[in-house]
Structure 1
């Protein structure tokens, strides 16, 4: 089974609760296997998502928005 891993930059996160919210919402996307967050309080945090299938940026943006934060860009 192939795993796709993509890192997204997210702004607005400041604490562990923020990390939990984003992890929970992104983890609800079908196919997501793992979510890791490198918290940069008050800056651009890096959210790395591993999934069974390639996700669209819109799917991840919607989940991040639902958690109350903003997806700013995507890096491979």
Structure 2
């Protein structure tokens, strides 16, 4: 059985240290350019995350097309 979003976020917080409540919606808030981000999304296989080492102008359209919904700055 696939994880729901909350379960996935809890697992991500426990394994990677990204707080469940610190995600920002890519739909409503564009990340700052030049920053490293972790992004969260969903596709036909379920939830996924990936690291974007440098967020650049125009990347938000690419991320949205990939199914990315939320982001956090990497503070590590």
Q: Give me the TM-score of the superposition, normalised by structure 2.
A: 0.29
Bigger Rg over Cα: 2
Kindly indicate which of the two structures has a greater share of residues assigned to strand: 1
Provide the TM-score with structure 1 as the length reference: 0.29
Q: Which has the higher contact order (CA 8 A, sep 6+)?
A: 1
